[in-house]
């Protein structure tokens, strides 16, 4: 049974390696879109950065404001799931752009780091709920024989502060 700290560490490990999340603003009626997350350095904490274009719905909705939103992560192996709540803001800090810039990002911006369409979003995570997938052959067998499957899941979730 993982501790909340272990689940939090697993979240950062999966985010760092898999990078794709679904992201949305609280005032968008639950609409989410895929974005590629980037972390600045090796620390396992926020902020989480996203390159996008100024003409996307999300960037336009943000404008110059900070707004509540969330990201969700499903690990490729489906052994970890997370929903993280926090705030988004457009933050075109050139020093951060320079540190995070790579060939994958560059492919989207014809004029490079100076492309007028480029927008860098900063997500400040505040709180999260993280689940470890408890599905196993043993859990499936227990379910088949009529045992209560909920006990296999009880200790596999944590609500954590991300700051």
pLDDT digits (tens, 9 = 90+) for 41-62: 877 788 999 999 999 999 999 9
CB neighbour class for 141 (10 Å; exposed up to 12, middle 13-18, buried from 19): exposed
pLDDT computed for residue 138 by the predictor:
47
Find out whether 121 and 52 touch, Cβ atoms under 8 Å. yes
Q: DSSP H helical segments within 20-162, as ranges?
A: 57-62, 94-100, 103-106, 137-144
**What is the distance between the alpha carbons of residues 31 and 11, in angstroms, rounded to a whole number?**
22
As given in the structure block, the two tokens for residue 74 are: 């499903």
Q: DSSP H helical segments within the chain, as ranges?
A: 4-18, 57-62, 94-100, 103-106, 137-144
Domains along the sequence of the chain with CATH: 4-161 (2.30.110.10)
Say if residue 88's pLDDT is above 70.
yes
CB 114: neighbour CB atoms within 10 A?
Answer: 9
pLDDT computed for residue 147 by the predictor:
61
* Sign of the torsion angle spanned by Cα atoms 41, 46, 48, 49: negative
Average pLDDT of the segment spanning 63-79:
93
Distances (CA, A) of 42 to 12, 39, 58, 136, 158: 10, 8, 27, 32, 23
Distances (CA, A) of 93 to 6, 81, 99: 32, 30, 10
Q: Global pTM?
A: 0.86
The string over 35-45, giving b where at least 16 C-beta atoms fall within 10 Å of a residue's C-beta and e elsewhere, is bbbbbeeeeee
Find out whether 136 and 152 touch, Cβ atoms under 8 Å. yes
What value does the mean pLDDT of the chain take? 88
pLDDT digits (tens, 9 = 90+) for 16-47: 999 999 999 998 888 999 999 999 987 778 89
pLDDT computed for residue 43 by the predictor:
73
Instruction: Pick the more confident residue, 154 or 56.
Output: 56
pLDDT digits (tens, 9 = 90+) for 99-153: 999 999 999 999 999 999 999 999 999 999 999 986 644 454 555 666 665 555 5
């Amino acid at each position: 049974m993982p501790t909340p700290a272990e689940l939090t560490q697993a979240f950062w490990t999966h985010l760092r390696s898999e990078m794709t999340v679904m992201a949305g603003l609280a005032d968008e009626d639950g609409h989410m879109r895929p974005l590629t997350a980037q972390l600045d350095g090796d620390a396992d904490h926020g902020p989480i950065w996203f390159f996008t274009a100024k003409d996307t719905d999300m960037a336009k909705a943000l404008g110059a404001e900070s707004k509540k939103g969330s990201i969700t992560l499903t690990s490729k192996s489906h052994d970890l799931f997370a929903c993280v709540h926090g705030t988004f803001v457009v933050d075109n800090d050139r020093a951060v752009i320079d540190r995070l810039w790579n060939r994958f990002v560059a492919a989207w911006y014809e004029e490079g780091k100076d492309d007028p369409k480029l927008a860098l979003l900063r997500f400040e995570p505040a709180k999260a709920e993280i689940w470890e997938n408890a599905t196993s052959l043993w859990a499936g067998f227990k379910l088949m024989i009529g045992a209560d499957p909920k006990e296999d899941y009880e200790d596999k979730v944590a609500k954590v502060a991300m700051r």
